[in-house]
A and B are shown apart, each in its own frame.
Chain A
């Protein structure tokens, strides 16, 4: 089961506790998940239910307090920071709610830089940047800086950056949360494209349009997995 190639994300009794001063806050409680490859998952639930924390743990940005987590066949529970960095770079594409583009790099460079850590040839990187910017419809904005783009455009570039190394898993944390309907729709189109490309996608969202294209919807409530809908 643990090394099953058809399972992209596997969690067992996953728990996360944050200590704030003297107070302990349990954000995730006994999460048991099994997400097959090439599935589009919507992670829903009220604010503060633990969606972002779960995404962070799956993406290797955060570590569980207890329990087990396997992503793409790798047990992330006890891995060091260098391993997790390489893992994130090669296997995970992360899209943040607040876009989080590097302000000192142009759009093209923002898309290119995860590829440079993998030491890909420069020509290959340039070709891939062109492909991705074309895919999101922002080729004409390649040399602009994040501050010169709208929120919707920045979020599309964030998707392009997440796909740069062609990861098996794409994680998106409320990608339409800061966008209007029109821009939100464009992001849904990008997500649909990923689904068509048979990527494993996990999106935390309140957006009904995203839920509509999901293969499976997980509900989180107060840190517990409340239900799974096919």
Chain B
């Protein structure tokens, strides 16, 4: 018998177990590679779509995808490690048998190591091939054009997973080499089985529950491993499902709230259309570079503002002066008090931005802001959009800017400097926007407000109110018009929702791959216990009893994992991934529904091997 002949023949003869292990490894590697490639495609798509979405939101998306990528990798690695560990741990008895027959320790170790290496290598190689195939198929279905994937993920996944498979598979082999043949052959040394504690002869609990729970508790190490594995899967699912939904709702609210619901804009025809265009840049529209914001014909007569403020159907008049300015970063200094060293913060970067003068007392919107928004007492303070913060106030080592923080720096235009007190998320001009007090901007530029945002009373008939307002403003200035903004806001939120929808494919694929991996794992564990199920049936248990025992085992394992995984996943989602998360009762209902559906799907999947076993003839199982 050659040293490589035996293990290969052994693997070929144990077709079912070998193919099951390779299938589980293949699934694990393939799904991990596919999910990484898919996430990378999404992240790359978002990153490359400059001019669409604000940069702050782009970062939220990228962080989310990166976090999912890390979790996906961990799940795949854990499944791979557990699979090979289980495969080799189940061979302890064979190890003892061969040793008892007189085979030297190093030779028998060599046999099993060859088996381990062969299955791990074949599983990983097949996984890589199938991962690329899945990516090709899905990328063609989801994205309009197929681009070559980032092939660097393949060697990363292959090497890490192969090493993990070998390291974890080696553990039981090394343990078995230290055992005497008698020990290795003893049922007490079977994988995960420990000697039982004294029990009451017949407990009051049902027999089915007792067999199921005893199997779980006596196979403690196996049970703990599967609970850990599933907990990580559920962390991933919670982060991707709950995180995705919360992030979608939260970011949608950020965009939605920047203009109050049912608000209308009053402006000169060209200015009104330009404002709608500025709002639409978020969802892909292109700004007209040549628009002259400082045209004196755009100014809104004070009489219009006065008359609109007096209308009962109008609850708020937000006067704005919108201009395009060349803005410049104004650096600052900070002192490290422990070392008494002074550091320069920022540089003097420049860009064009929309500058909006607002009256902090009358704002027809709220902003998600880091720091704070403008208040009545602010004079030379400013709030900048997240895209400006990321382009003009970020660390840029290539330019020698190692410390930068918008909130300790200032912004200047037309020789006036404003202290930055907040960074907001704003769809206007895709976040390339600066908010300053209206009075200050009017004093600096000498211009009057060129746009009004009106919030209508909820109780009034909005179409009648709009007609009334239109008649009123055109009686004073025929060039003025009314611009309802609901459709633009809706377009922006729909665009955001569709981007999230594409990202939410990741959790769906994650669930599918986790369920498939779980199926493979469950098949291995059913295979491990098949002899006992056959005995129970031979003694007179109906097939449904076998299903019931396995269902209990599966439920105990699933619910333990769900408890741990969902709790940790929720904490990670709320504390790390999202700032100021928006969680409504509907959000909770939606998340609960999806996670519940995921648990049900996994539960049904986990029962399939037991279902097959219960349908098989007793003699076939025993043999």
**A106 surroundings in chain B (CB, below 8 A):** 196, 199, 201
What residues on A are CB-neighbors of B218 within 8 Å?
A: 103-104
Which one, A59, A96, A145, contacts B195 given CB within 8 A? A145
Contact B195 A147 (CB under 8 A): yes
How far is A200 from B34 in the complex, measured between Cα atoms in Å? 63
Q: A126 — which chain B residues lie within 8 A by C-beta?
A: 201-202
A219 within 8 A of B: no
Q: Given A100-B535, A109-B210, A117 and B540 touching (CB < 8 A)?
A: yes
Instruction: Find out whether the CB atom of A85 lies under 8 angstroms from the CB atom of B543.
Output: yes
Q: Which of A147-184 contact B (CB under 8 A)?
A: 147-148, 161, 165
Residues of B within 8 A of A109 (CB): 199, 201-202, 210
Most buried by A among B537, B542, B617: B542
- A117:B541 contact, CB within 8 angstroms: yes
A:66-110 near B, CB below 8 Å: 81-82, 85-90, 92, 94, 96, 100-106, 108-109
Judged by a CB distance under 8 angstroms, whether B215 is at the interface is yes
Is B211 a contact partner of A105 (Cβ separation < 8 A)?
Answer: yes
Q: Is A62 an interface residue (CB 8 A)?
A: yes
Is A143 a contact partner of B539 (Cβ separation < 8 A)? no
Interface residues on B, range: 35 or more
User: Per-residue 0/1 for B178-220: is the Cβ within 8 Å of any A Cβ (1 yes, 0 no)?
Assistant: 0000000011101001011011011010110011001100100
Tell me whether A105 and B210 are in contact in the complex, defined as CB-CB below 8 angstroms, given that A56-B619, A61-B619 are known contacts. Answer: yes
Complex contact B542–A86 (CB within 8 A): yes
Structural contact, A61 and B187, CB atoms closer than 8 A: no
- Report the Cα distance A90→B542, complex, angstroms: 12
Once the chains are docked, how many angstroms separate the CA of A17 from the CA of B195?
42
Closest chain-A Cβ to B123's Cβ sits at a distance in Å of: 28
| A131 close to B (CB within 8 Å) | no
Does B538 touch A at the CB level, under 8 Å? yes
Enumerate chain B residues within 8 angstroms of A108, measured Cβ to Cβ: 201-202
A116 touches B535 (CB 8 A): no
Contact with B538, one of A82, A94, A116 (Cβ below 8 angstroms): A94
Interface centre among A94, A106, A125 (most CB of B within 10 A): A106
B524 to chain A, nearest CB (A): 18
Q: Are the C-beta atoms of A103 and B542 separated by less than 8 Å?
A: no
Residues in chain A near residue B619, CB distance under 8 A: 56, 61-62
Q: Does A64 contact B (CB under 8 A)?
A: no
The answer to whether the Cβ of A43 comes within 8 Å of any Cβ in the partner chain is no
Is B47 an interface residue when CB atoms closer than 8 A count as contact? no
Main secondary structure of the interface of A (DSSP, over half): helix
User: Closest CB of chain A to B137's CB: distance in Å?
Assistant: 37
Contact of A85 among B186, B193, B210, B542 (CB under 8 A): B542
Collect the chain B residues with CB atoms within 8 Å of residue A147's CB. Answer: 186-188, 193, 195
Nearest residue, chain A, Cβ from B619: A62
Q: Which of B187, B207, B540 contacts A146 (CB 8 A)?
A: B187
Nearest B residue (CB) for A130: B201
**Bound complex: CA of A164 vs CA of B186, how far in Å?**
28
Within 8 A of B (CB), among A40-65: 56, 59, 61-62
Interface presence of B351 (CB below 8 A): no
Whole-angstrom CA separation of A81 from B613 in the bound complex = 13
Contact status B538-A100, CB under 8 Å: yes
CA distance A153 to B539 in the complex (A): 19
B66 at the interface (CB under 8 A from A): no
Within 8 A of A (CB), among B17-68: none
Contact A89 B617 (CB under 8 A): no
Q: A56-B619, A145-B195, A147-B187 are in contact. Are A105 and B214 (CB under 8 A)?
A: yes
B543 contacts A82, CB within 8 Å? yes
Does residue B536 face the partner (Cβ distance < 8 Å to A)? yes
Question: Given A104-B215, A108-B201, is A61 in contact with B538 using a C-beta cutoff of 8 Å?
Answer: yes
A130 to chain B, nearest CB (A): 8
Closest Cβ of chain B to A36, distance in Å, is: 24
Nearest A residue to B543 via CB reads: A81
With most chain A CB atoms within 10 A of its CB, the pick from B215, B535, B537, B619 is B535
Q: Is the CB of A129 within 8 A of B540?
A: no
Closest residue to B542 on the A side, CB-wise?
A85
A129-B542 CB under 8 A given contacts A102-B211, A104-B214, A113-B207: no
A33 in contact (CB, < 8 A): no
Taking CB atoms, residues of chain A closer than 8 Å to B541 are: 85, 89, 117
A174-201 near B? 1/0 per residue, CB < 8 Å: 0000000000000000000000000000
Pairwise interchain contact A88-B186, C-beta atoms closer than 8 A: no
Q: Is the CB of B193 within 8 A of A90?
A: no
Is B618 in the interface zone, CB < 8 Å from A? yes
In the complex, the answer to whether B202 meets A122 with C-beta atoms within 8 Å is yes
Residues of chain B within 8 A of A89, CB atoms compared: 539-541
Residues in B with CB closer than 8 Å to A92 are 540
Residue in A82, A104, A114, A145 whose beta carbon sits within 8 Å of that of B539 in the complex:
A114
Q: Are B536 and A116 in contact (CB under 8 A)?
A: no
Q: With A105-B210, A147-B193 known to touch, is A122 a contact of B204 (CB < 8 Å)?
A: yes
8 tightest A-B contacts by CB?
A89-B540, A147-B187, A108-B201, A116-B207, A88-B540, A85-B542, A104-B214, A100-B535
- 15 intermolecular pairs with C-beta atoms under 8 Å apart: A61-B619, A81-B543, A85-B540, A86-B540, A89-B539, A100-B535, A103-B190, A106-B199, A109-B201, A116-B206, A122-B202, A122-B204, A145-B196, A147-B186, A147-B187
15 additional A-B residue pairs with CB within 8 Å, beyond A100-B535, A112-B201: A61-B618, A85-B537, A94-B539, A96-B538, A100-B538, A103-B193, A103-B218, A104-B218, A104-B532, A108-B201, A113-B536, A117-B540, A117-B541, A143-B199, A148-B195
